[in-house]
Amino acid sequence: MPKAAYHLTHPQRRTTAVVFSSPHSGRDYPWSFLRRTNLNDHTVRSSEDAFVDQLFQDAPRYGAPFIKAGAPRAYVDLNRSEEELDPALIEGVRKSGHNPRIASGLGVIPRVVANGQAIYTGKITMAEAERRIDTYWRPYHEALSAQLDQAHLMFGQAILIDCHSMPHEAMDTIARTGIRRPEVVLGDRFGAAAAPGIVDRIEEVFTSAGLVVTRNTPFAGAYVTQRYGRPSRNRHAVQIEIDRALYMNEQLIRPNGHFEAFRNVLNGVIAEIAAIGRPAHQALAAE
């Protein structure tokens, strides 16, 4: 089993309402799982947000907590509802209605990795699915909820930045229209998960760093933004998808020669996003 449900790094002093999370960067693959899968050790990592945790690991330097997954996405998907159980994978689950994520094999216990490659031969038991949810999914969300509650208590608002990566080809359709290929996609569920002013400021931060930004297409945000984004209650959630080609070799799943330079760019972005959640008097003092 993966050793931890999550890893949470606190800042020395919390100065911002912003919380950074990385639910898909876990890479602690248990031997019992690898032994059961159809996939080799490399292919099973294809749906992982590899190195996203390293890109955002300095968030606590800017006064914001950072939580990342301990378990890999192929084992349990923290960006799905615990109720998104796949009847094609889990014994005893009844099909009820149409959920496109479940239908495509991407429920809370995934049936496939990237490109629809099956993880298992046959099904797993309901007891196994429930154990993964109880051991990894619930603790992660309890910890994330606690950080957001603390932010709201301290600052009167909470701003969740949910950090992800996207395959380079995800933007191929847009690139073919002649528009410059987007490198960052901000997902706020078309305005339902975050106040427009906050999303505008986040977009401006990325644009000022020289990155091409678009919103909600093709990634508008999934379970995490849906669950935690309540702008009417001053609780905001924005999903960030970053083109993997900017910092890694997707085929080899290795950092590329631009990794450190891009991480330096992102550190500036992180600092500016953290400032969005800082009280006005603190922001002026920082200047």
One-letter amino acid at 129 equals A
Q: Residue 282's pLDDT is what?
A: 56
Report helix, strand or coil for 249.
strand
Task: List the helix and strand counts (H, then E) for the chain.
Answer: 10, 9
Give me the pLDDT at residue 286, please: 46
Q: What pLDDT score was predicted for residue 36?
A: 92
Q: Is residue 155 part of a domain?
A: yes
CB neighbourhood size of 90 (10 A): 20
Domain span at residue 191 reads 6-286
Distance of alpha carbon 143 from alpha carbon 91, whole angstroms:
29
pLDDT digits (tens, 9 = 90+) for 177-186: 777 899 999 9
pLDDT confidence of residue 239: 98
Distance CA 99, CA 167 (A): 23
| In a domain? residue 136 | yes
Q: Is position 245 within any domain?
A: yes
Q: Please give the Cα distance from 149 to 67 (Å, whole number).
A: 14
Task: Report the CATH number that the domain containing residue 77 is assigned in CATH.
Answer: 3.40.630.40
Structural domain contains residue 246: yes
Rg of the Cα atoms in the chain: 19
1 occurs within a structural domain:
no
Q: Give the DSSP per-residue string, 136-186.
A: IIHHHHHHHHHHHHHHHHHHS-EEEEEEEEE-GGGGHHHHTTTSPPPSEEE
Low-confidence ranges of the chain (pLDDT < 70): 175-176, 281-287
Q: Report pLDDT digits (tens) over 74-129.
A: 999 999 999 999 999 999 998 877 889 999 999 999 999 988 999 999 999 999 99
Question: Is residue 199, in this structure, part of any structural domain at all?
Answer: yes
DSSP output for 200-242: HHHHHHHHHTT--EEESSS----HHHHHH-BGGGTEEEEEEEE
> Does 107 fall in a domain?
yes
Residue (of 171, 173, 163, 204) closest to 79 by Cα position: 163
In sequence order, the β-bridge partners of residue 186 are 215, 240
The answer to whether residue 48 is domain-embedded is: yes
Split into its structural domains, the chain has a count of 1
